[in-house]
Homo-oligomer: A and B are copies of this chain.
Amino acid sequence: MSLTGQTGADQLRQYIERIERLEEEKKALMADIRDIYAEAKATGFEPKVMRQIIKIRAMDKDLLAEQDMLLSTYRDALGVPAE
């Protein structure tokens, strides 16, 4: 891609501006997400545990079951039982 001609520079500018617009949208979404966590926290929910729940809900069921079992086994082995 030659940048000496106008076409190359225009094309580059278009790519850059498309990415910048999407990055702006991403930033806005991330701000919205932060706001929801803040609102939930003000209501009395714990954001850290909410993040864990969101990860858990996104996991494959079998993988989750396996990890839960291992976690429980390891906790027992080290004397850190779940309540």
Residue ranges of A at the interface with B (Cβ–Cβ < 8 Å): 1, 11-12, 15-16, 18-20, 22-23, 25-26, 29-30, 32-33, 36-37, 39-40, 43-45, 50, 53-54, 57-58
A23 and B33 within 8 A (CB): yes
The answer to whether A36 and B54 touch (CB under 8 A), given A26-B29, A30-B26, is no
List the B residue with the shortest CB-CB distance to A32.
B22
Secondary structure of the A side of the interface? helix
Can you offer 28 A-B residue contacts whose CB atoms are under 8 A? A1-B43, A1-B45, A11-B43, A12-B40, A12-B50, A15-B40, A15-B43, A15-B45, A15-B50, A16-B50, A16-B53, A16-B54, A18-B36, A19-B36, A19-B37, A19-B50, A19-B54, A20-B57, A22-B29, A22-B32, A22-B36, A23-B33, A23-B54, A26-B26, A26-B29, A26-B30, A26-B33, A29-B29
